[in-house]
Amino acid sequence: MNFTTNEAMIIMEVHALLTSEPERHNDLNELMLIYANVISKTKLKIGFKKKYNLTLYQFHLQTRMGYAKEQLNKGLQVKVLALSLGYSTSGSFSRAFKKVYPHPPGYFRYHTSNT
């Protein structure tokens, strides 16, 4: 699949947005709608995966959970962090966190290792 210069720039812009604001809850479908007049949803998904070797969802989750881990290492409470990241419960946040890390979020609140 070929991408125009504008499409390639949009893919990098989406990456930069997700990287620069990991604490912000970005609904990926809404994000794709923002750029719908420049790039199709399919092209954005395929282009992102091709360029960054991760799906949009995987990258977004890893970026947010990396931010979460940093905040937990600073001593932020799991429940407070979960709500600030847009999760309705600390349980739903914990499930998402465990998709990226082998330990539950509470572990990182008390252990500052790089596991």
Task: Report, as an integer, the average pLDDT of 80-95.
Answer: 94
Task: Report, as an integer, the average pLDDT of 47-76.
Answer: 95
Amino acid at 108: F
**Residues 6 or more apart in contact with residue 26 via CB below 8 angstroms:** 17, 18, 60
- Read off the pLDDT of residues 92-103 as tens digits, 9 standing for 90 and up: 999 999 999 999
User: Could you tell me the residue ranges of all domains in the chain?
Assistant: 5-60, 61-110
- Select the more confidently predicted residue: 26 or 69: 69
* pTM attached to this predicted model: 0.85
Q: By the 8 A CB rule, do 82 and 90 touch?
A: yes
Residue 100, token pair as written in the block: 């990226």
Q: Is the pLDDT of residue 57 over 90?
A: yes
Determine the pLDDT at residue 107.
87
Determine the pLDDT at residue 115.
43
Amino acid at 51: K
The dotted CATH code for 61-110 is 1.10.10
Helices (H), 1-115: 5-20, 28-34, 41-52, 56-73, 78-84, 90-98, 105-110
The span from the CA of 12 to the CA of 102, in Å, is: 29
